[in-house]
Amino acid sequence: MSLPSSARAIGLDLPRHPSRLVPTVIAVIVGVVVLGAAAALPIPWDDLGSLPGQVAHYLGLMFAAPNWEMLPQALFETWRSISMAWIGAIGCVIVSIPLGMLAATGVGPIWVRLPLRGLFAIIRAVPEVIIALLLLTVTGLTPFTGALALAIAGIGTQAKWVYETIESVQEGASEAVKAAGGNTAEVTRWALWPAAAPALLSFALYRFEINIRTSAVLGLVGAGGIGSMLANYTNFRQWDTVGMLLIVVVLATMLMDAVSGAIRRRIMRGPRVRATATPREEHTDVARVS
């Protein structure tokens, strides 16, 4: 006698096997959509075979003999991109932290929370490049345009991190402040902010890392920095200079990521505590030496 029939004989109800119909239908629909999208694109499928050779050819033009004569100007433009990213991150944090706190449950009233969260969602839906293009008509082709675009675009994500972090804080400190007679502002200042500050500062540094990468893209639309220089030399097909610029961009991004990551780890983990010997251990060491 098989196991299912034995279980039914003694009165046990076995659970039914889960149906695979819904996941199968979803997989088929997704596959049809992907195939339809690929078929609608004007892709020259016959040229795909020559693509690796073309990539290798242009990589050789860029990195076989980079033009290091333009390195001083590239370093200056890289510094402008980093400055743009830093100013954008500071502006984003200054605006997003108070607005994000007001959007957190238990801090702001519902008639404030819902509009703010809707505004953050709208900002997240608009790419940084589109914001920069809209600002170009007002501020012109300057690095300030890129910094302002980075600040505005980062508010949506940064503010969401803020109110989610505030809502995840344990309620023990908040209840203690409320029990002492504190109002909402005092609970936010003395209970929520001290608990959430390390995570929020870490998120702020992470926003700076994101801005460094995005600043190079904004330069392609005329916002200044290393991206504008890269776009200009790419348009003129000066591949040896383009290769040098790419090397500078990669190295600068890796360096800033390493520095920012080390600071974020220090903020989250706190300073290291060196192990010190107890008085008993010191007495034992002295006895051994003597």
pLDDT digits (tens, 9 = 90+) for 212-222: 888 877 877 77
Q: Residue 140: inside a domain, yes or no? A: yes
Contact between 106 and 172 (Cβ < 8 Å):
no
Reported confidence tier of residue 192, pLDDT bands at 50, 70, 90: confident
Answer yes or no: is pLDDT of 263 > 50: yes
Contact between 205 and 264 (Cβ < 8 Å):
yes
Q: What does the pLDDT read at residue 132?
A: 84
Per-residue pLDDT of 268-285, as tens digits, reads 776 665 555 455 555 555
Helix (H) or strand (E) holding 282: helix 279-289
Per-residue pLDDT of 19-60, as tens digits, reads 778 888 899 999 999 888 877 777 777 777 777 888 888 888
More confident residue, 179 or 256: 256
Q: What does the pLDDT read at residue 120?
A: 92
Answer yes or no: is pLDDT of 229 > 50: yes
Instruction: Show the domain range for 95.
Output: 83-269
User: What is the C-alpha to C-alpha distance for residues 214 and 70, in angstroms, rounded to an integer?
Assistant: 22
Question: Nearest-CA neighbor of 244 among 60, 54, 70?
Answer: 70
Q: Residue 34: inside a domain, yes or no? A: no
Q: Residue 188: inside a domain, yes or no? A: yes
Answer yes or no: is pLDDT of 118 > 90: yes
pLDDT (mean) for 57-85: 88
User: What is the C-alpha to C-alpha distance for residues 243 and 233, in angstroms, rounded to an integer?
Assistant: 10
Contact between 159 and 100 (Cβ < 8 Å):
yes
Q: Residue 177: inside a domain, yes or no? A: yes
Answer yes or no: is pLDDT of 13 > 70: no
Q: Residue 27: inside a domain, yes or no? A: no
Provide the CATH number for the domain around residue 184: 1.10.3720.10
User: What is the C-alpha to C-alpha distance for residues 256 and 262, in angstroms, rounded to an integer?
Assistant: 10
pLDDT (mean) for 75-89: 89
pLDDT (mean) for 84-93: 89
Q: Residue 4: inside a domain, yes or no? A: no
Q: What is the DSSP letter of 141?
A: S
Length of the chain measured in residues = 290
Percent pLDDT > 70 in the chain is 83
Q: Residue 199: inside a domain, yes or no? A: yes
Reported confidence tier of residue 289, pLDDT bands at 50, 70, 90: very low
Return mean pLDDT, the chain.
80
Q: Residue 224: inside a domain, yes or no? A: yes
Contact between 92 and 158 (Cβ < 8 Å):
yes
Answer yes or no: is pLDDT of 286 > 50: no
Reported confidence tier of residue 122, pLDDT bands at 50, 70, 90: very high
Q: What does the pLDDT read at residue 197?
A: 79
Q: What does the pLDDT read at residue 2?
A: 52
DSSP state string for 78-101: HHHHHHHHHHHHHHHHHHHHHHHH
DSSP state string for 192-256: IHHHHHHHHHHHHHHHHHHHHHHHHHHHTTT--SHHHHHHHHHHTT-HHHHHHHHHHHHHHHHHH
Count of domains observed in the chain: 1
**pTM metric for this prediction:** 0.72
Contacts of 132 (CB under 8 A, 6+ apart): 145, 146, 149, 218, 221, 223
